[in-house]
């Protein structure tokens, strides 16, 4: 059994234990050489089988294992956008999905720079217009955006995050849920946002994208 398979199973168990993948929602993938390992359709992230993962080519050709999650086009879009990305996490976590039902803060980030951890671990996070789950047109739209980002909110759906490691993608997905909960909890209160110089200091140090 490969380390990538064990890593994917452990990440699924962690996200399920945190309550971020209710029922059989959410999907994870990791690059292994020139292949993508992705959770199968209808999988419970808390009960993944390391030998029961789907294997796809970079362009989504099914190479082995069970039928993949229908969201595999979104995973492939992140890998094609960023050759350094090695993992993608897509969840239906409650608060991030809630923010995905609201108007975005800006064209390049659905969420404002509320906390240093959001800027450090996620960076700008665009809202991708609604499409039915699994619609490849949404993946094409995500891939075509002409600015840098490593995570997004899918309108009326939920968060998706990539990372240079699976741990980084998981951390970004968890941080997205935390900052979304904070944003919703603020309600009508007007928060203090990080100043441009504060954002620049963080993005310079941690290498996350923020173009505002």
pLDDT in tens, 43-85: 999 999 999 999 999 888 999 999 999 999 999 999 999 999 9
Q: Does position 204 have pLDDT exceeding 70, yes or no? A: yes
pLDDT at 46: 95
Residue by residue, DSSP assigns 154-173 as ETTTEEEEEESSHHHHHHHH
pLDDT at 59: 84
Cβ 129 vs Cβ 191: under 8 Å: no
Q: Sorting pLDDT into bands at 50, 70 and 90, what band is 212?
A: confident
> How confident is the model over 153-176, as pLDDT tens digits?
999 999 999 999 999 999 999 999
pLDDT at 1: 62
Average pLDDT over residues 114-130: 98
What DSSP designation does 21 have? Answer: S
Helix (H, G, I), strand (E, B) or coil at 58: coil
Q: Where are the domains of the chain?
A: 3-206
pTM of the model: 0.96
> How confident is the model over 25-43, as pLDDT tens digits?
999 999 998 899 999 999 9
Annotated catalytic residues are: 71, 117
Which uninterrupted H or E stretch holds 137?
helix 136-144
Tell me which of 1.10.600.10, 3.40.50.920, 3.40.630.40, 3.40.225.10 is the CATH number of domain 3-206: 3.40.225.10
Chain centroid, CA 180 distance in Å: 13
């Amino acid at each position: 059994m490969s380390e990538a398979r064990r890593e994917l199973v452990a990440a699924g168990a962690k996200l399920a234990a945190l309550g971020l993948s209710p029922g059989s929602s959410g999907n994870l993938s990791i690059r292994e050489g020139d292949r993508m390992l992705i959770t199968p359709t209808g999988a419970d992230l808390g009960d993944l089988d390391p030998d029961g993962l789907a294997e796809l080519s970079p362009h989504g050709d099914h190479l082995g294992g069970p039928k993949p999650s229908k969201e595999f086009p979104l995973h492939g879009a992140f890998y094609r956008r960023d050759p350094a990305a090695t993992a993608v996490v897509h969840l239906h976590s409650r608060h991030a999905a809630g923010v995905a039902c609201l108007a975005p803060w800006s064209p390049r980030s659905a969420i404002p720079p509320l906390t240093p951890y959001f800027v450090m671990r996620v960076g700008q996070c665009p809202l991708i217009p609604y499409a039915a789950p699994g619609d490849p047109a949404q993946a094409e739209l995500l891939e075509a955006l002409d600015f840098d980002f490593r995570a997004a909110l899918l309108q009326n759906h939920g968060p998706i995050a990539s990372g240079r490691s699976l741990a980084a993608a998981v951390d970004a997905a968890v941080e997205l849920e935390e900052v979304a909960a904070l944003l919703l909890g603020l309600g009508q209160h007007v928060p203090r946002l990080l100043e441009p110089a504060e954002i620049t200091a963080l993005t310079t140090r941690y290498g996350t994208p923020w173009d505002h």
